[in-house]
Amino acid sequence: MTPQLFNDIITVYPEILMTIFALVLIVIDVVAGDKMKASVGYFGIAFVALVALLSPAGPFIGFNNMLIWDNFSYVFFLIFAMAYTLTTLGSIDYLRDKNMLKGEIYIVMFFSLIGMMFMVSANDLTIFYVGLETMAISMYVLAGFNKHCLKSNEAGVKYFLMGAFSSGLFLYGLTFIYGLTGSLTYTDIAAAIQGNTGSLGIKFGLLLMLVGFAFKISAVPFHMWAPDVYTGSPTPIAGFMTVAPKAAAFGALIRFTWVAIAPASEQWTLFFTILAVLTMTYGNLVALAQDNVKRMLAYSAIAHAGYMLIGLVTMTPEGFRAITIYMLIYSFMNIGAFTIIGLLKNKGMIDDERIESFAGLSKKNPLASLAMLLFMFSLAGIPPLAGFVGKFYIFIAAIKAEIYWLAIVGVLNSALACYYYMRVTIFMYFKEPEYETELTLKAPSFVATFIAAVLVVLVGFFPSFFVNLVSSLTV
C-alpha cells in the first residue's frame, strides 16, 4: 500500500466505518423480530459510540485535498452522535405508542449521519453536495415517516419541495463559482478569488450558494418551511431535525466561509449580519404568539440559529468555536425538551402539544416537569445552566470582534425569549389542569431525559472543563 493510498483511507476511515455499520444495522433489522425493533436503535447507539472511540485523531487530508478529517470534523461528529443517541432513546416509547416503531427509522437516521459527516469533512463542493443530499433525502423520509398521519405527510412534502428548491439555487450558484474559478476545491477557490473579489459573477454565485445554506439553517427570510416541517414531523424526529442537520449545515458553512471565501469574507459580513438580526428577532417575536409548544420550539429553533449566526458574523476562530460550543449544548437541551413533549398525551381530541396540556404537570409527574423546567431555563439562557454558557461565548466573541451592537441585539432577544419559555414552566407549576393529560417516563425515555438534564446542569456549573475540552479539539 502506498503512503498516499494509506493516507486517503485514513481520511475517510470514520465514514467507511459508519457505512459498514449502517449496512449491518439493516441486517439486524431483518433478523430482529417485530417486538424487538428497538434493538436496532440500541445497536445504532453502540455503533456510533464505537466510531467515536475508533476515530483517528489529528488532521488528515486526502483525495487531492477533497476530504479532511480533523478535530473540527470530530467535534461535529460528536454533536451528531449525541443527537442520534438522545433521539433514539427518547423516541422508542413515542414510536411504540403511535404504533410505528420500525427499524427503518434508526437506519435512515444513521445514514443521514453519514451524509452530515461528509458535509462537515468536505473540502470540495462535490463531496459537500453529495453529503448534503444524503442527509437531506434521509430527512425527507424521516419527516414523512408517519405515513397515516396527514400532518406528517404534509411535513414531508413541504420539506422535500423546499429542500430540493434550495439545493437547486445552491447548485446554480456553484456552477458560476466553478466556471469563474475553474475548481471545486475550497483551497483552489480561495486562491482563485484572492485577487478577483470584485467580480460580479463570483459575487452572484456566492450569493446563491449562501442563500442555499441559509435555507438549510432556516435563517429568516428563508425559513418558511421550518415551522410547518418541525410541527408536522413525529416529535422526537423534529427534535433531531432542529439539531443535527442544522449543526451539519453550520459546520459546513464555517468551513466554507473560513477556507473558500476567506479572501472575500469582508463582503459577506453584511449579509450574515442581516440574516442574524432578522432570524433572531423574527423567530422570537413569532414564538411569543404560539399556543402550541411544539410549534413554539420550532420558532425558537429559528431564533437559536440567529444567535449562532452572530458567531459567523465575527469571522474569527473565537466566533466559530463559540458556534461549535453552542451547537453541542443546544443538541442535548433541545432534544431533551422534545422528548418530554413527545411523551405528553391527553385523552381529548385536541392536539397533544398545546400549552394547556402542561398545566398541573408538576403534581402528576414531578421528575418530568423538573427536567422540562431545566430545559426551558437552559433554552432561555438563564445562568447557571448550559444554555447560558453557549450564549455567553457567542456574545463574548461578538464583543471581542468589536461588534457591540450585535451583541446587544442578541442579549435583548434572549431577554424577550424568556417570556415564552417561562410560560411553559408557569403552566406546569402554577396552573390547574382543564382536562386530563398523562405523562409516563418509561426506561428508555427516562434515560434520555436524565442524560440531557444532567448534562444541562453539569455543563452549566462546570463550563470551563467542558469549554476547554471543546476548544482543545477545535483549534
Partner 1 sequence: MELTLAHYLILSAVIFALGMTGVLIRKNLIVMFMSLELMLNAVNINLAAFSNYLQDMTGQIFIVFVMAVAAAEAAVGLALIISLFRNKQTINAEELNIMRG
Binding site for partner 1 (CB under 8 A): 126, 129-130, 133, 137, 140-141, 144, 147-151, 153-154, 156-158, 160-161, 164-165, 168, 171-172, 174-176, 178-179, 182-184, 227-228, 231-232, 289-292, 295
Distance CA 235, CA 439 (A): 15
Question: How far apart are CB 202 and partner 1 at their closest, in Å?
Answer: 13
Q: Which residue's CB is nearer to partner 1, number 97 or number 351?
A: 351
Q: Which three cell numbers stand for residue 68?
A: 479532511
Q: How many CB atoms lie within 10 A of CB 36?
A: 14
By the 8 A CB rule, do 205 and 183 touch?
no
By the 8 A CB rule, do 379 and 333 touch?
yes
Question: How far apart are CB 205 and partner 1 at their closest, in Å?
Answer: 10
Q: Which residue's CB is nearer to partner 1, number 74 or number 160?
A: 160
Question: How far apart are CB 327 and partner 1 at their closest, in Å?
Answer: 26
| Chain centroid, CA 349 distance in Å | 32
Per-residue buried b or exposed e for 192-205, using 16+ beta carbons within 10 Å of the residue's own CB: bbeeeeebeebbeb
H or E stretch at 345: strand 345-346
By the 8 A CB rule, do 176 and 204 touch?
yes
Residue type, 264: A
DSSP 38-84: HHHHHHHHHHHHHHHHHPPPS-EEETTTTEEESHHHHHHHHHHHHHH
Distance CA 250, CA 130 (A): 16
Q: Which residue's CB is nearer to partner 1, number 136 or number 467?
A: 136
Question: How far apart are CB 213 and partner 1 at their closest, in Å?
Answer: 17
Q: Which residue's CB is nearer to partner 1, number 419 or number 462?
A: 419
By the 8 A CB rule, do 267 and 327 touch?
no
Q: Which residue's CB is nearer to partner 1, number 114 or number 308?
A: 114
Question: How far apart are CB 281 and partner 1 at their closest, in Å?
Answer: 18
Residue type, 408: I
Q: Which residue's CB is nearer to partner 1, number 59 or number 168?
A: 168
Q: Which residue's CB is nearer to partner 1, number 55 or number 153?
A: 153
Q: Which residue matches cell numbers 421550518?
A: 226
Question: How far apart are CB 297 and partner 1 at their closest, in Å?
Answer: 13
Question: How far apart are CB 288 and partner 1 at their closest, in Å?
Answer: 12
